[in-house]
Structure 1
Amino acid sequence: MSADTIIALNTELFLKSANDKPFGYLYSIERDCKTETFHRIDMYNGESVNILSPEDSTYFPEKGPYIAYSKSLIGNLKFLKDRYTNKPFKITMLKDTVINGVANSHFIANVYDTLDNNEHLYSNRDYYIDKQTGLPGLVIIRGRYKYNGLVSEYYDETKYFNYRLDRADITDASFVIPKSFKPRKKQAAPPAVLAPGTTAPDWTLYDVNGKKVSLSQLKGKVVLLDFYFIGCSNCMQSLKPLNAIYEKYKNKELVIASLTERDSKKAVLDFEKRYKIKYTGYINAADVVKSYHVTGFPTFYFIDKEGKIGNVFVGYNDDFEDKVTSVINDLLSKK
């Protein structure tokens, strides 16, 4: 996980269901993300969880993990209760804090804390409780984790507001999929990646500093296209070797362009600063993702000096740096 801020507005509906074992509630959680092109509704009717897509009025079953529920107010508090019951952890009370003119109690739950080869890894949850209502208004999750040898930080801030409890208008019917929504059709197999020797589709994008660049402008150089998104674990694995490759070839005819279709300019700027990324990042690359038939992340395209596809890798492996270096050396050596 990365340490980048994601801004989303959730509308959460819950109805107590005493006999329901998985959750204890029926629920509908609508998530409209402001920093990504992301809008969905997670709905549980007592039998199954379905994901509704307002964009195309389709739905499909979800088999878990139920991330939307875990990040909801009830799911968040249930996590704290279950975790503490099964494996008690340290809870620290801090001084009262004023948020938007309202006094809040503040406590920190230290749910995970360890040393791994002298690396301090942890997970803390800050809870801010409105002293008038007794309800959480803000939950912050901070952590430092190790995944496949890479240590990264995590920060997630969720604000809860506009509570309306015991609403008579929330009934079983609130968790029935609208008739206007149709089951999502089984998607056809994604198109194959572009084959070596194919002319690379041209594109024009802006980097996070507002500079406009086209692929055609880079003709005569070898170009490595890194298709990624923030939060992709394998994309995170590639950061360190890509930085090393940039340093190795920075005075040669190689350009590394990192492309994202979903992350905002601010998110990318923060991401690049936090991880000290040396190569250039470009945003709003949805059309490029489509034209290059990218369906998995990360995907790496190598463009030769004549503007043709030289090679393509999908995913990340431990020998990534050696493989990339070999391809780059081969393409640079060609006249």
Structure 2
Amino acid sequence: MIYLIRRLMKPFICLAFVLFGASVNAQVVSVRQIMDKMESYKNFSYRSVNRMKEIFTNDTVTQQNHAVFEKASGDKNWGYLLNIETKKENDQFTSADLYNGQQLIHTDPNDSTYQIQSPQMTGYTLQSTLPGRLKWIQGRLEKGLSKVVKTSDTTINAVDNYHLIVNIKDTLINKEHDYSYVHLYIDKLSGMPDCIIIRSRDMSFGNGATMYYSETRYSDYKFNEDNIDIASITIPKGFHPPKEQPALPKEQTDLLALGSVAPGWTLYTADGKKTSLTRLKGKVVLMDFYFIGCAGCMLSLKPLNNLFEKYKGKNFIIASLTERDSKQSVLDFEKNYRLKYPGYVNAADVVKSYHVKAFPTFYYIDKKGKIANVHVGYGDDFEKNATAIIDDLLKK
């Protein structure tokens, strides 16, 4: 399987599917009752505030949503038309996602543009809504794959709540606790969720733990409103697709030719150590273009660590380069995943000079400073192929 990610794709999407792609059972009635309540109305809306710890860093992102759902019995895919308006931490309206029964349309009021979203993004957005999350849980419950445990009742903002915990996974990987839970807090009076919290500790990437935390608080529920305008779930008048960017000349987009001289660079590691490609001449260099959070980049961590250990002291260097991640983010990342090879920051010019358009991209530089090989994306046989290439280059 090949893993690569385009530069503009949101990194956190990759793990969201992992967290929601597992299983759950029991307390079916409680979740079903919430769904039945929502499905009994012709329309409903709510406001939500989501605080999420970004998956592979310690940064926290806050997002406010106002979601409006119009029941659409003829829509077999979802059952609703919807309009989700999004605000960021500064309370500025940033975008709206519209589902018209066929497509998810992302609109940006800043430049009056709209984009038809991919099936992957459509599925992720719909599943992230309150009905989407409940449908996912209910589906797992009906399959009897795991359990929902009712724990002690609690209070949120002076409101009494039932507290249900969905145990998605709970196991040990190399003696490390690997788990994911969904906490449902349900208002006893209204029967609607006040809060959903997702906690996860994942041991699938690198040699460290990936900690995930997402807290969504729901409020201002409204049902069967007369002022819901179905016309609002359409592309706003005057909006247009983004203007196509002029195509770059072929010589600026093709990967560098094998045998050509590798463009020089001088960069600093996250802890301030300066290195240049010129200083590495006489060594085989594996340049790993990555960014924190892309699926293929994360899957390559263990193999890269293995390669570093295997070729330690043998005229072989790994240089991981990121154009977008801050020094502190990289330092935290390297510490958490116990990376043994250096990561270089502020590499935008190098990304450009090596014509990198997708991540991860791996360039192999021979002892003479020439391009010996290049691969885009991560495959399950990455370490095996890399070993063969490096062995061959070290012999020359």
Q: Return the offset for 1:113.
A: 5.8
Larger RCO (alpha carbons 8 Å, 6+ apart): 2
Q: Which secondary structure state, in structure 1, belongs to the residue aligned with residue 116 of structure 2?
A: strand
Match of 1:289 among 351, 358, 366: 351
Q: Which secondary structure state, in structure 1, belongs to the residue aligned with residue 319 of structure 2?
A: strand
In the alignment, what sits opposite 2:307? 245
In the alignment, what sits opposite 2:136? 79
In the alignment, what sits opposite 1:304? 366
What amino acid is the match of 1:140?
I
Write out per-residue CA displacement over residues 244-290 of structure 1, whole angstroms, 9 at most, x where no aligned residue: 21112332433212223455555544443333211122344444333
1:60 touches 1:184 (CA, 8 Å); kept in 2? no
Given the two structures, how large is their TM-score scaled by the length of structure 2? 0.66
2:265 touches 2:276 (CA, 8 Å); kept in 1? yes
1:4 partnered with 2:56: yes
In the alignment, what sits opposite 1:45? 100
What amino acid is the match of 2:241?
K
In the alignment, what sits opposite 2:119? 63
Match of 1:321 among 383, 386, 390: 383
- Per the alignment, do residues 327 and 110 of structure 1 end up closer, same or farther by CA in structure 2, a change over 3 Å counting? same
Please, which runs of 5 or more residues in structure 1 have no aligned partner?
none
Q: Return the offset for 1:308.
A: 2.9
1:11 touches 1:31 (CA, 8 Å); kept in 2? yes
2:207 touches 2:302 (CA, 8 Å); kept in 1? no
In the alignment, what sits opposite 2:69? 15
Match of 2:81 among 26, 29, 38: 26
Matches within 5 A, 1:132-211: 134-142=192-200, 144=202, 155-161=211-217, 163-166=219-222, 171-178=229-236, 179-182=238-241, 185=244, 191-211=253-273
Task: Name the CA distance, whole Å, in 1 between partners of 2:186 and 2:296.
Answer: 37
Q: Return the offset for 1:301.
A: 0.6
What amino acid is the match of 1:260?
T
What amino acid is the match of 2:263?
P
Task: Name the CA distance, whole Å, in 1 between partners of 2:183 and 2:327.
Answer: 28
Given the two structures, how large is their TM-score scaled by the length of structure 1? 0.75
Write out per-residue CA displacement over residues 69-123 of structure 1, whole angstroms, 9 at most, x where no aligned residue: 2122332122122322343632223345567887765321124567999998754
2:173 touches 2:203 (CA, 8 Å); kept in 1? no
What amino acid is the match of 2:336?
R
What amino acid is the match of 2:322?
T
2:95 touches 2:109 (CA, 8 Å); kept in 1? yes
Task: Name the CA distance, whole Å, in 2 between partners of 1:99 and 1:210.
Answer: 46
2:67 touches 2:83 (CA, 8 Å); kept in 1? yes
- Per the alignment, do residues 293 and 172 of structure 1 end up closer, same or farther by CA in structure 2, a change over 3 Å counting? farther
| Percent of residue pairs bearing the same amino acid type | 45
What amino acid is the match of 2:56?
D
Task: Name the CA distance, whole Å, in 2 between partners of 1:144 and 1:47.
Answer: 34
2:177 touches 2:201 (CA, 8 Å); kept in 1? no
Write out per-residue CA displacement over residues 212-254 of structure 1, whole angstroms, 9 at most, x where no aligned residue: 5444454454321112234444333322221121112332433
What amino acid is the match of 1:126?
H
In the alignment, what sits opposite 2:33? none
- Per the alignment, do residues 117 and 200 of structure 1 end up closer, same or farther by CA in structure 2, a change over 3 Å counting? closer
Q: Which secondary structure state, in structure 2, belongs to the residue aligned with residue 244 of structure 1?
A: helix
2:178 touches 2:201 (CA, 8 Å); kept in 1? yes
Task: Name the CA distance, whole Å, in 2 between partners of 1:168 and 1:282.
Answer: 57
- Per the alignment, do residues 209 and 291 of structure 1 end up closer, same or farther by CA in structure 2, a change over 3 Å counting? same
- Per the alignment, do residues 177 and 186 of structure 1 end up closer, same or farther by CA in structure 2, a change over 3 Å counting? farther
Task: Name the CA distance, whole Å, in 2 between partners of 1:188 and 1:281.
Answer: 31
2:84 touches 2:97 (CA, 8 Å); kept in 1? yes
Q: Return the offset for 1:140.
A: 0.8
2:195 touches 2:218 (CA, 8 Å); kept in 1? no
Q: Which secondary structure state, in structure 2, belongs to the residue aligned with residue 229 of structure 1?
A: coil
1:124 partnered with 2:181: yes
2:69 touches 2:81 (CA, 8 Å); kept in 1? yes
Q: Return the offset for 1:52.
A: 4.2
